[in-house]
Structure 1
Amino acid sequence: MKRQLILENGERLIGEAIGSNEERAGEVVFNTGMTGYQEILSDPSYCGQIVTMTYPLIGNYGINRDDFESVDPSIHGLIVREASEYPSHFRSQLTINDWLKKENIPGIQGIDTRKLTRLIRETGTLKGRICAIDADVDTVVNELRATPTPTDQVSRVSTKNRYMNPGMKERIVLIDYGAKKGIVKDLVAEGYEVVVVPYSLTADEIMALQPDGVVLSNGPGNPTSIPESVETVKGLLGKTPIFGICLGHQLLALACGAKTTKMKFGHRGSNHPVKDLQTGYISITSQNHGYTVDEASLEATPLEITHINVNDQSVEGVKHIEYPAFSVQYHPEASPGPEDAKGLFREFKAIVQNQLELTGGKTHA
């Protein structure tokens, strides 16, 4: 069955339908990963977005039970050159087409994904809609242009209730702005007791849990859309060690007086080189973000740059010069992607333990 992708600039791309028959709009972005499509489909940071996979064959190892990053996917659509009909992997349980139908997510295959990716790189991300072949292009374009960019993504994907992952060591509070399972898994692997909380908790409510450290998770959208979270981070600074990841990195920067800006087409993929300015070591990282910390705005803040992107020199990491707080723009949990940056969890662990030694083993009140 034919289906079309219509973009807000009037561009129309015709392909074959995969997934559900529901028509859904979203910000059209691209991901350069060759593998990891299951984690991408279930990453809450893609809330409201339609993802184009630049690698031409997607779904060749199927869908399995274990590799999801969330229970309820938030992605609005998938665009691929070819969706594999016959996956081959011992853990495979569903084809990607069957899973998309099951989760009521529309998709399209058979379009020129290289052309679409070049278009996004030239013009920036565009709103688009995956719709029926007979949908009127002008009508859809006008609707897309009239639709404002959503600002409620974090509230849609954050947990509504606190919950605990038992551990034998320090207590870490993970503020869920759209946290991936991989972050929880890696924190638990360090032996922590991990308490996951909604993004809406205040600093006082978080400190009442007596954390030995706080992790600010990844998440979707514009960090300035959740000013209450910026205030929460401000209230936590100096009271407990902080480790920010992706959106959490941007929130830490905002809390310290820096600014964030929207990127032309963002960083999405598992092959982004990042340089550690202290060691000179370059890690290949997994990334998914459309906003970045403005480098010039950091000059009047208590933050210093620790990591930069090798490709475009954008800010990839910062640390506080006075308090035990640092953050990175990329995903050290590497779900999906390389594991070069997993050492950051051990770095955070050392900071937590050092802080406990300084305070005699007691969490700040």
Structure 2
Amino acid sequence: MRLRKHWIAAAMAVAAMPAMAQPITLERFGSFHVGGRQVEITGKPVIEYTPTVGGAPLRIDPNGTYLVGQMYARFMEPAPQRGQAPLMLWHGAYLTGVTWETTPDGREGWEHFFLRRGWTTYVTDAVERGRSGTAMSPDIFGLPIYLPTANPWERFRIGDGAGSHARGTLLPGNQFPATPEHYQSFMRQVVPRNLGTDEDVLNAYVALLERVGPSVVVAHSQGGAFAWQVAQRRPDLFRALVLVEPAGTGQAAQAATLKDIPTLLIYGDYVEADPRWSVIRRNARRFSDMIRAAGGQVEDVDLPSRGIPGNSHMLMMDRNGDAVAQLVQDWLAARGLWQ
């Protein structure tokens, strides 16, 4: 009896804990790769090298058949499930699925937020990034592009263009965890991206959705542009689209193919004052108008006007990121995709 009372008290204590403090129960989790194509390489010289100290010399012939363009995906299935479709989390350029897993100052990411609310989540590393592997450049993929430390500081609307986070000024009220230590933590997860891989990325996302089935896709930045384009190819595989500051659009001539996919666009602060992001947003608005003209539903949310100010381009990592995630959660629930 004493043990039973102790168990009941412990259970009541857990129930009283805030959502973030409660443990996540998983029914199952795992990972897999999808997509890819074979490429033949010829005419390359044999490479001779010793791979490790004390190892034996190797001769590597780089000629042959390569599998490239594959994509890594990791899924987590909570118990109980309340999301009415799988929830995909697609990252932006120069990034990986880590975007959704954690924040530079160690808080839980959006993956945790949605798992705690009963969504089955899929976090991916886009083609040629992270655990998806890469390929020879420029033989197969185009030239890799790297971001110097100062680039995201200004490009992602964290601070001014003074040159680096150590010398630059944080934008007033900005919510990104931008101490030198935290900004360096963010830069550690930034990876190069290769030019000329868009078709491989689009094909891999289609393969992912074909394997998993119709899903809610939450996509950030470059991933948002990919999501619109994938949805134009396979609208039957989308239950809803949540585009977090998409860095591009779909094909204007095919805008009507998106009319049956409920779509939410989210933008943070300082967008209109930024010469690059203001243009990107205007283009997205024009594209959204085309979808609406075809009978579609696109909601465009300006976070400052909703009482959520100070967001950088990395909304999911900002200190008020959970408030943005809650807005997404409420929007999905209002469309019958969560119960």
User: Do Structure 1 and Structure 2 share a fold, with TM-score over 0.5?
Assistant: no
With normalisation by structure 2, the TM-score equals 0.31
Q: Which is richer in strand?
A: 1
Q: Which is richer in helix?
A: 2
